[in-house]
């Protein structure tokens, strides 16, 4: 099976403290993988290195076969990798549709496309695509609503639609269920399953193990920056090293 994301021998220190040590794992294409571990284990640091916010001290990061290890952050979207943030980066004064159109601009490669006055063209292809993507996710009713007025769970899902419209095929989500109520969590779970069914690769950091269990085929467990286990959650959660890592934390079991 080919890897959408491949991390090999990755290391990172902050002021001499090793945050990530010789970390290697692969995220298979079209699958959903969880990156779990106690607070401070290094999960967000991995996301920051894959998205290019932090440089690496050693190791290699490959997205869809392209080595992105030293690629500037802004160019990495062209390889398909994108990240959603805990603080949603939608423009709250614009409508849902307008936010999606701004995201699609990222994907436009030619100057002509960038200069297209899409607001003046009622049935511009991007608008049709954006409306279709909203409909697919059951969010079409919100198309013309102002983002700032929408519930948090809806905004979160619109952020996902925006990322995929912008060309993301490998999506990293840092604690996507945090702050959501149970019905919003269910809607998010269905949305992520639908993305996975369309072939989008997901790497999810999440503390809610029921949520992880409901969407992830495979988990990678980090502790103090090292991989201590990898495999199906049902197997990994019985691993003595994993149980020990979670003692005294708010982790499951």
Ligand X SMILES: Nc1ncnc2c1ncn2[C@@H]1O[C@H](COP(=O)(O)OP(=O)(O)O)[C@@H](O)[C@H]1O
State how beta strands 170-174 and 81-84 pair. parallel
Q: Which of 6, 44, 69, 84 binds Mg ion (CB under 5 A)?
A: 44
Q: Nearest approach, Cβ of 44 to Mg ion (angstroms)?
A: 3
Burial 75-113 (b: 16+ CB within 10 A, else e): ebbebbbbbbeeebebeeeebbbbbbbebbebebeeeee
Does residue 42 interact with ligand X by CB under 6 A? yes
Of 150 and 203, the one with the shorter C-beta distance to ligand X is 203
Does residue 52 interact with ligand X by CB under 6 A? no
Of 45 and 185, the one with the shorter C-beta distance to Mg ion is 45
Distance CA 94, CA 105 (A): 15
Map tokens 């809610």 to a residue. Answer: 208
* C-alpha pair distances (Å), 186 with each of 180, 190, 195: 9, 6, 14
Of 45 and 201, the one with the shorter C-beta distance to ligand X is 45
Of 43 and 156, the one with the shorter C-beta distance to Mg ion is 43
Residue at shortest CB range from Mg ion: 44
Binding mask 58-77 for ligand X (x = CB under 6 A): --------------------
Q: Nearest approach, Cβ of 26 to ligand X (angstroms)?
A: 19
Does residue 251 interact with ligand X by CB under 6 A? no
Q: Nearest approach, Cβ of 116 to Mg ion (angstroms)?
A: 39
The residue count for binding Mg ion (CB under 5 A) is 2
Distance CA 76, CA 51 (A): 7
Of 5 and 97, the one with the shorter C-beta distance to Mg ion is 5
Length in residues, the chain: 253
Q: Nearest approach, Cβ of 140 to ligand X (angstroms)?
A: 35
Specify whether the CB–CB gap between 10 and 225 falls below 8 A: no
Q: Which stretch binds ligand X (CB under 6 A): 35-43, 102-110, 188-196, 241-249?
A: 35-43
Q: Which stretch binds ligand X (CB under 6 A): 43-51, 81-89, 137-145, 160-168?
A: 43-51
Give all strands (DSSP E) within the chain, no chain letters. 3-14, 17-28, 32-36, 58-63, 66-67, 81-84, 170-174, 201-205, 218-223, 226-231
**Paired tokens of 249:** 């934390």
Closest CA to 156 of 170, 175, 131, 133: 175
Of 96 and 202, the one with the shorter C-beta distance to ligand X is 202
What is the helix (H) or strand (E) element at residue 44, kind and residue range?
A: helix 43-51
Residues of this chain that bind Mg ion (CB under 5 A): 43-44
Residues of this chain that bind ligand X (CB under 6 A): 14, 19, 37, 39-45
């Amino acid at each position: 099976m080919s890897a959408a994301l491949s991390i090999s021998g990755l290391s990172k220190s902050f002021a001499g403290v090793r945050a990530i040590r010789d970390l290697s794992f692969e995220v298979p294409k079209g699958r959903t993988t969880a990156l779990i571990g106690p607070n401070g284990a290094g999960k967000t640091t991995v996301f920051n290195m894959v998205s290019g916010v932090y440089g690496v001290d050693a190791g290699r990061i490959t997205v869809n076969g392209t080595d992105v290890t030293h690629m500037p952050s802004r160019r990495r979207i062209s390889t398909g990798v994108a990240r959603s943030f805990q603080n949603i980066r939608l423009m709250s004064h614009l409508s849902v549709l307008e936010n999606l159109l701004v995201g699609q601009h990222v994907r436009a490669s030619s100057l002509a496309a960038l200069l297209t006055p899409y607001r003046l063209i009622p049935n511009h292809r991007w608008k049709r695509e954006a409306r279709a993507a909203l409909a697919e996710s059951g969010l079409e009713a919100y198309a013309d609503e102002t983002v700032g007025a929408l519930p948090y769970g809806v905004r979160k899902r619109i952020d996902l639609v925006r990322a995929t419209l912008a060309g993301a095929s490998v999506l990293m989500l840092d604690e996507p269920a945090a702050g959501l109520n149970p019905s919003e969590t269910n809607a998010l779970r269905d949305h992520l399953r639908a993305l996975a069914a369309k072939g989008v690769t997901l790497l999810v950091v999440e503390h809610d193990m029921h949520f992880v269990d409901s969407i992830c085929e495979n988990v990678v467990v980090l502790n103090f920056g090292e991989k201590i286990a990898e495999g199906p959650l049902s197997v990994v959660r019985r691993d003595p090293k994993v149980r020990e890592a979670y003692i005294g934390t708010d982790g499951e079991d």
